[in-house]
Amino acid sequence: MTLRDALDNNACALVVKEDQLKLALSTLGKNPRLVITDSQAFSKVDADTPKDVSMTSFSILMARYKGDLTGFVEGARALKSLKEGDRVLISEGCTHHR
């Protein structure tokens, strides 16, 4: 999950701030296959990303890479079975700034 990994796999990685995305995309010549963004910038990046380009967030990638994404999806699906008065604990563990 590093730029080194991208280079080792013959991928082209472009890193820009969200306010530079539109210009960066216009200089590529063709659309990228995937845009990865921080979840806090998702709305802005989504607005500037062509609709035929897949998008995800670093959080989703890390959940898939280090977590149990299948379990997380099952948990999200369980929300449909909640009834009036049920209680839900929501917690987040963030380690990317340690």
Question: pLDDT of 7-48, one tens digit each?
Answer: 899 988 899 999 999 999 999 999 999 999 999 999 999 999
Q: How many CB atoms lie within 10 A of CB 45?
A: 20
Cβ(54)–Cβ(34) below 8 Å: yes
Of 52 and 64, the one with more pLDDT: 52
Q: Which CATH number fits domain 3-81: 2.30.40.10, 3.40.50.11420, 3.40.50.920, 3.90.1300.10?
A: 3.40.50.11420
Confidence of residue 94 (pLDDT cuts 50, 70, 90): low
Strand partners, 35: 55
Confidence of residue 98 (pLDDT cuts 50, 70, 90): low
